[in-house]
Each structure stands twice: as structure tokens, then as C-alpha cells.
């Protein structure tokens, strides 16, 4: 069986450098390019890359994906910064290249994907829900893509269940004291030396609380999800949002 020809963009970054090692070590993949900022994207065409793993920055990802989709190169994307406008722009590009697949995964670690799933299930059963994400201080953005996605899933689950809006403070002495409001769910971002990527979903009801916590302790936690994404995206045309779509979570 021929190996999948895979390139990594953002290859010198924290997660990109780990992805280079993981792709290189995978028996069914050949690492054909490892590109950093300023390296020409034409290399992707010259090396016959079939799948790009995109792990750059929110300011670079759209241009990189535009190139990939126009050249029929599938993409597995971990880079954050997704908005409805950006997703619509990507869908427009994909419409002109209907055989190309793009997976955007807010988080590639199985624990984080399960945290989102568990939070979605639990959210309608509690009066209050808040999300706290904690990351290393060099993280490019806040709140994390995972926290934003978690809050969106929680809000959608509560809306489907007809949950009442959460009680909240009527007076805040300082802006930001209640975190960011994502679809009615407060999201708090901590940046702390020594951390990598962590999240707590706090749920509270009458006389009880439930805390769902996930910790990524090393960038290796994201690698099985990236490799799964690479294997599946080549046979999944169009846009897939969330690694859970490639997992059987019941």
C-alpha cells in the first residue's frame, strides 16, 4: 500500500515540531515537507503533498488553506481563531474544489474531545455552567479554541433542552470580572508559566457541583488525533468541524 504524502505547516512551532516527528514515525505516512513562516507553499505542489497538517497562527491559516484547497490538497487544521465569517469563506473555497477535505479540530486530544462531549451532556441538568481554560503564557490567543467550542456546545445543548438563562451578577465593579460571554456561558482564561493546556467545566445545581477537568501534559497528547485526522480526511470531502466526527463516541 502506498504511503500518504503529508506536509506540516508551522513545523518549527510547539505543536508543529511534535507533529513532524509523529508523521515521520507513522508507518503509513511519508513526511514530504516541513515548512515554516516564509517558506514557499509551491513546495507542497512540487513534493506531491496529499495532506497538509496546518499548525500555524490565526493570521496565517486562511491564506494557507486557500492555497491548499485551490490545489486539491486535503488539510487537517489545529490552528485556532475560527469565526462564522472565516468558516463561510472556507466553505466558499471548498465549493469550488468539492473533492477536497478539511478537518478543523479545536482540540486533537481524546480527553479534550470527551470533556466537550461530557459537558454537552451534563449542561442541561445544572443551573449554572462556567468554563475555565488554563494555558502556557506563550499561547497566541485567548480564550482557547477549545473553550470557545465547549461553551458553544453547552449553550446549544441548553437551548435544545429549554434551560433557563443562568443567574449572574447584576453589578460588576471591573470589566472582565465575569470572564468572556460565549453564547451566555462565562469563559475564563488563565495564562501561567508551567502549564500546557488544561480546561475545567464547572457545573452547579442546588446543593451540588460537578467539575469536568482535562489536562494535556505534553504535546504528544495531540498526536493520535492528528494522525487519525490525516488518515480520515482524504476520504471525507468538504468541511468537518471537530475530531469527534471521526470517532465513534456513541
Ligand X SMILES: NC(=O)C1=CN([C@@H]2O[C@H](COP(=O)(O)OP(=O)(O)OC[C@H]3O[C@@H](n4cnc5c(N)ncnc54)[C@H](OP(=O)(O)O)[C@@H]3O)[C@@H](O)[C@H]2O)C=CC1
Q: Which three cell numbers stand for residue 221?
A: 497528547
Active site residue: 74, 135, 188, 198, which one?
Answer: 135
Measured from the CB atom, is 137 or 205 closer to ligand X? 137
Tell me, yes or no, if 139 is annotated catalytic: yes
SS3 readout for 17-86 = HHHHHHHHHCCCEEEEEEECCCCCCHHHHHCCCCEEEECCCCCCHHHHHHHHHHCCCEEEECCCCCCHHH
**3 or 218: whose CB is closer to ligand X?**
218
Answer yes or no: 135 catalytic: yes
Which residues 157-176 are close enough to bind ligand X by CB under 6 A? none
Considering only the stretches 82-90, 102-110, 184-192, 233-241, report the one whose residues sit in contact with ligand X under the rule CB under 6 A: 102-110
Q: Which residues contact 213 (CB under 8 A, 6 or more apart)?
A: 115, 198, 199, 200, 201
Candidate residues 12, 70, 160, 213; the one interacting with ligand X per rule CB under 6 A: 12
Task: Point out which span in 30-38, 63-71, 141-149, 200-208 binds ligand LZUJQKHR (CB under 6 A).
Answer: 141-149
Smallest CA-to-CA distance from 9 within 25, 205, 43, 28 is with 43
Check 74, 117, 139, 198 and give the catalytic one: 139
221 binding ligand LZUJQKHR? (CB under 6 A) = no
Return the residues of window 176-215 that contact ligand X according to CB under 6 A: none
- Whether residue 108 contacts residue 245, with contact meaning beta carbons closer than 8 Å, is answered with no
All cell numbers assigned to 87: 468558516
Residue closer to ligand LZUJQKHR, measured from CB, 145 or 179: 145
Note whether 70 binds ligand X by CB under 6 A: no
Q: In what order do the strands lie in the sheet with 74-77?
A: 29-35, 4-9, 51-54, 74-77, 101-104, 238-241
| Catalytically active residues, by annotation | 135, 139
Q: Summarize as ranges the residues that interact with ligand LZUJQKHR (CB under 6 A).
A: 80, 106-107, 135, 139, 144-146, 197
Amino acid at each position: 500500500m502506498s504511503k500518504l504524502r503529508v506536509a506540516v505547516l508551522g513545523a518549527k512551532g510547539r505543536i508543529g515540531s511534535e507533529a513532524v516527528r509523529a508523521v515521520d514515525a507513522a508507518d503509513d505516512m511519508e513526511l514530504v515537507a516541513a515548512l515554516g513562516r516564509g517558506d514557499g507553499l509551491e513546495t507542497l505542489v512540487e513534493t506531491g503533498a496529499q495532506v497538509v497538517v496546518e499548525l500555524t497562527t490565526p493570521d496565517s491559516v486562511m491564506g494557507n488553506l486557500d492555497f491548499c484547497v485551490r490545489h486539491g490538497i486535503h488539510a487537517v487544521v489545529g490552528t485556532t481563531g475560527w469565526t462564522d465569517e472565516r468558516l463561510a469563506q472556507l466553505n466558499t473555497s471548498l465549493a469550488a474544489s468539492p473533492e477536497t477535505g478539511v478537518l478543523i479540530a479545536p482540540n486533537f486530544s481524546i480527553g479534550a474531545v470527551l470533556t466537550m462531549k461530557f459537558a454537552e451532556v451534563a449542561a442541561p441538568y445544572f443551573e449554572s455552567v462556567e468554563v475555565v481554560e488554563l494555558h502556557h503564557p506563550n499561547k497566541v490567543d485567548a480564550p482557547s479554541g477549545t473553550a470557545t467550542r465547549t461553551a458553544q456546545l453547552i449553550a446549544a445543548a441548553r437551548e435544545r433542552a429549554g434551560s433557563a438563562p443562568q443567574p449572574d451578577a447584576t453589578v460588576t465593579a471591573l470589566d472582565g470580572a465575569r470572564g468572556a460571554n460565549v453564547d451566555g456561558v462565562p469563559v475564563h482564561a488563565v495564562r501561567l508559566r508551567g502549564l500546557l493546556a488544561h480546561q475545567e467545566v464547572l457545573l452547579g445545581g442546588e446543593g451540588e457541583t460537578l467539575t469536568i477537568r482535562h489536562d494535556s501534559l505534553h504535546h504528544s497528547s495531540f498526536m493520535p488525533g492528528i494522525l487519525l485526522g490525516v488518515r480520515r480526511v482524504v476520504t471525507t470531502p468538504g468541511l468537518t468541524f471537530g475530531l469527534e466526527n471521526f470517532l465513534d463516541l456513541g
